[in-house]
Amino acid sequence: MEDVAVKRAGQKVGLGSGLGGASLGIIFALWTSEAIDTPTFPLLLAIPAALFALALRNLASLRKGGLSSPATWRYLRDFFASIAVYMLGLGIAIWLWNSIPGARGFALPIALLPTLPTFAMVYVMARYLAEEKDEYLRYRTTQAALVGLGFVLVLGSFWGFMETFGVVPNIWAWWVVPVWAIGFGIGQTWLTQRDNAAGDDS
């Protein structure tokens, strides 16, 4: 019974982080395409925040029982923190650019506000893959990251050709982070559901 509870808690960590990443990417995509307005944007961010909190809560319960590796705990804690700083930096950068006339002369530092946290995301994931002793957990994270990369490569190539042929307008290149987050989240969710199905069959 305890093994089942541990497994379920682990699956909730994967599901919460996966759905949180996917919903975050979708919300950013809707906001940048102006499908939702700026006042609605921070309200919708409560959705991924709640999902990330669910993942951390379940991970904390596993950690308390000595059933979660320190590497996994540090990875999720620091990765979620990097995402939060990215969201904050992006919001501040866009607000400064649109609201402060004098900000035009500081384009480089303003652009770095949301860019630097992406370096942190890459570092945190690389550190986790180096520190995690569980081969299956490393495999899952790598697979989910590859799904996100696949989303970026396929969508970027498709959109780029559509731009070349004059079918769609040019869009900002920083869409790659939200799209990667969507793919990463879908990858995590898919792997979690696959594990659930395998557990039910066994």
Per-residue model confidence (pLDDT) at position 174: 79
pLDDT of residue 118: 92
Produce one character per residue of 21-44: b if its CB has 16 or more CB atoms within 10 Å, e if not: bbbbbbbbbebbeeeeeeeebeeb
147-160: pLDDT as tens digits:
999 999 999 999 99
Among 8-17, 30-39, 51-60, name the one with the lowest average pLDDT: 8-17
Share of the chain above pLDDT 90, in %: 22
| Domain ranges for the chain | 2-197
Closest CA relative to residue 184, chosen from 161, 136, 152: 152
Determine the pLDDT at residue 148. Answer: 92
Tokens of 56: 């951390």
Q: Could you read off the pLDDT of 11-20 as tens digits, one per residue?
A: 667 677 777 7
Tell me the mean pLDDT in the region 31-55.
Answer: 80
Token pair in block for residue 145? 């990251």
* The pLDDT value given to residue 6: 53
Comparing 196 with 120, which gets the higher pLDDT? 120
CB neighbour list of residue 186: distance below 8 Å, 6 or more residues apart:
18, 22, 147, 151
Looking at this protein, which amino acid is placed at residue 114?
A: P
| 201-to-140, 190, 195, 198 alpha-carbon distances in Å | 20, 17, 10, 5
